[in-house]
Amino acid sequence: MTEPDALQPLIDELATLRNRVAELESAEAGRARRRMRLRGVLLLSLVVGTTAFAQLVSFQPNAPAIAADVNGNFTQLKTWLEQKVGAAGSANVAITAATRIQTGTTSNAALSTGKALLVTANTGAPAVPIAEFRHDNQTQGVGIGYNTIYATGTAANQDLNLAARGTGLLFLQSPTTITGDLVVTSNTSTGSWLASTTRVPANGGTLAPGSAPNGNWTTLECSPGQYVCGLTFTHPAGQDGAFQESFSIRCCTL
């Protein structure tokens, strides 16, 4: 065998290695171009964030990940998280956009339009809780079903209070049905039916509460636990029919 023939296997192997290196360099160049395109898309998405969503960099199997891409992905995820719940590291949750909560299978997306908060759940009865709000001791609270507001907690009996603020009034805007007992604990002159009421005597004029000749109206209040259920007018003999007709209220127990 001549010397060139002995070297031929080495020459062939070297050529094969050169081709393999060229293939690897070409593949790496392609991956680099793809990464550059992805970074360009990410930058463009961040610049026009009002019209597009930022994108995360995707990594290929068996390809090295560049630290800048990994760090950029984490930064973007942190940005998205803070947009939802507020600053990272804070114990407080700050939601600055409409919130939609759904535990059932029927989408409530269409109903959420124009509402700051929409909560839907598939419950089987009016008082089954959709949401509850409790004291930190968890023994007392208020719950909301799909058509019921109820007291909740660990006690067998718990009051439910509806209260206006300060001197505000509580209004019921619809016809009201009471199926249980009604208890009234206050009927004072500052808040009773007599506080702003006038009555018309026989001559057609008006007499303000407390004025003569019909006496002091504030004495004509029903006792606590009672309500006005009627009026009685009397005209004793000898009295002037126009101004001296007597009257009283009839009180009934609730």
Tell me the per-residue pLDDT of 88-139, one tens digit each, with 9 for 90 and over.
888 888 888 889 999 999 999 999 999 999 999 999 999 999 999 999 999 9
Domain identity same for 56 and 105 = no
46-53's contacts with Cβ under 8 Å and 24+ in sequence apart are none
For 190-244, write each residue's pLDDT tens digit: 444 443 333 444 433 344 444 544 444 545 566 666 777 777 666 655 555 555 5
Is residue 180 pLDDT above 70, yes or no? Answer: yes
Domain identity same for 64 and 109 = no
Domain membership flag for residue 91: no
Domain membership flag for residue 160: no
- What residues make up the domain containing 104? 99-153
- 210 backbone φψ class: left, alpha, beta (φ>0; ψ -120 to 50): left
Domain membership flag for residue 161: no
Among 30, 53, 85, which residue terminates a domain? 85
Count of the separate structural domains present in the chain? 3
Domain identity same for 127 and 51 = no
Gap between the Cα atoms of 238 and 215, Å rounded: 18
Among 59, 85, 111, which residue terminates a domain? 85
Q: What is the pLDDT of residue 185?
A: 64
Q: What is the pLDDT of residue 44?
A: 41
Average pLDDT, the chain: 75
Among 50, 85, 120, which residue terminates a domain? 85
Domain identity same for 245 and 178 = yes
DSSP 3-state of 110: helix
Domain identity same for 119 and 147 = yes
pTM summary value: 0.50
Listed in sequence order, the residues at least 6 apart from 105 whose beta carbon sits closer than 8 Å to its beta carbon are 122
For 67-82, write each residue's pLDDT tens digit: 998 999 999 999 888 8
Domain membership flag for residue 142: yes
First to last CA, the chain: 127
Domain membership flag for residue 165: no
- pLDDT tier at 13 (50, 70, 90 boundaries)? confident
